[in-house]
Amino acid sequence: MSTRALRLKFVVREDHTSFIKWFERLRKWVETDEERALLSLSNEGDAFYVQIPETILDTESGLLQSLALVIDSLPHGDIRLEDVEADFSHMPGPSNGAEGINRSLGTRGVMLGAVLRPIQGIHPADLADVSYKLISAGLDFVRDIPGLINQEASQIGLRISLIEEKIDKIKEETGRRAVYWVNVTSKLEKLVDIVQKSLDSGARTLFYDLNVGCMDGIVTIREEFGKRIFLYVNLPSYQSSFSPSILAKLARLYGADAVERPGYYGTNREEVLSIDRALTSGIEVKKSLPVARNIHPGEVEANLAIFGEEQAIIADEAVYEHPMGEEAGVKSMRECIDAFLRGERLPEILNSHEEVKVAVKKWGILATQ
């Protein structure tokens, strides 16, 4: 395959009509008959492949923009993009990546975080108090909930300032470092301003929500701010036109240092494995850190045993709905992670850790097989 060719793999549902029409529109974009002849369509079993040679790609805007143009033109519903093959050696990829997060932020082992629910309200002082309580109990990071950006009742500059003050206080008290991922998700025309406001307020770790944002947002942040920031994105909870693994691959190529994906809940093993392969192998850019979403204490062992220790875990229900309270929820997660890293099985720690015992009674234990 030519070094600047794109090879796209699709799964097409029962009706192939919209896919063929899309391919014909793609051919019409090509200016000459000679170039049009180079654009090829083939199928292998249930999969369709479209090859776009380097002579057709926009050499001025580059591979990223050419890929985005093709993807944005896809009809929704009948077509699912499964993979993209190309020479990605010149793609930007993460500026810092998984290794950079661990090195620069001083974290070791499996990072544990939580969504920062506004249990006391969304005022920055309230969120700072919640952050202090949860980080003191054992979290390595907190991140904003989607939708909380720069509202009048929770202005981003003040939120960053107050939460970072609490993080500094914890470091003085315990020596532990923690991270606050601030939500900067915005319309593209406002994105640079909101990121700059965050940096001016002292933030370097940013969260961008792909449920409402787009890949162009990642590109914009990376092009404008480069290595000055660490970028954490979440995969959309549902996207019919793209496989989760291709979304993960694109997020990594476009520059996400950490990518939040589903945890393993017993029925989605192959999906999670394919996402992690997309985030950590196969292409010549830095690895993105997988972040397992919404894990309970009884699921920690299975997730770490199957998918390895080079991931982070972000909890939600396990913290906020623990029968003994939020701090007990954090401790139950931390105790399960630490036990696994010591080589202990979950049943071995139930009698010595009440927080874990109560959590397992509520949510159960997920088998590793």
Q: pLDDT tens-digit profile of 41-90?
A: 888 877 889 888 766 665 444 566 666 667 667 776 678 888 888 878 77
d(CA 38, CA 104): 46
Cβ 301 vs Cβ 112: under 8 Å: no
Strands 289-293 and 312-315, by their bridges, are: parallel
Give me 136's structure tokens: 């003191």
Give the pLDDT of the chain (369 residues) as one tens digit per residue. Answer: 444 678 888 888 767 888 888 888 877 777 677 777 778 888 887 788 988 876 666 544 456 666 666 766 777 667 888 888 887 877 789 999 999 988 877 777 899 999 999 888 899 999 999 999 999 999 999 999 999 999 999 999 999 999 999 999 999 999 989 999 999 999 999 999 999 999 999 999 999 999 988 888 998 999 899 888 999 999 987 666 788 999 999 999 989 999 999 999 988 999 999 999 999 998 889 999 999 999 999 999 999 999 999 999 999 999 999 999 999 999 999 999 999 999 999 999 999 999 999 999 999 999 876
Bridge partners (DSSP) listed for residue 353 = none
Residue showing tokens 């060719």: 5
Number of other CB atoms surrounding residue 355 within 10 Å = 23
Q: pLDDT tens-digit profile of 293-327?
A: 999 999 999 999 999 999 999 999 999 999 999 99
Phi, psi angles (nearest 5°) of residue 58: -75, 105
Which domains are seen in the chain, by residue range?
6-85 (3.30.70), 97-363 (3.20.20.110)
Q: What is the CA radius of gyration of the chain?
A: 22
Burial 92-121 (b: 16+ CB within 10 A, else e): bbbbbbbebbbeebebeebbbbbbbbeeee
Bridge partners (DSSP) listed for residue 292 = 261, 313
Q: Which of 154, 135, 168, 162 is nearest to 333 (CA)?
A: 135
The per-residue pLDDT for 106 is 75
Q: Share the mean pLDDT of the chain.
A: 89
How many residues are there in the chain? 369
Give the predicted TM-score (pTM) of the model: 0.90
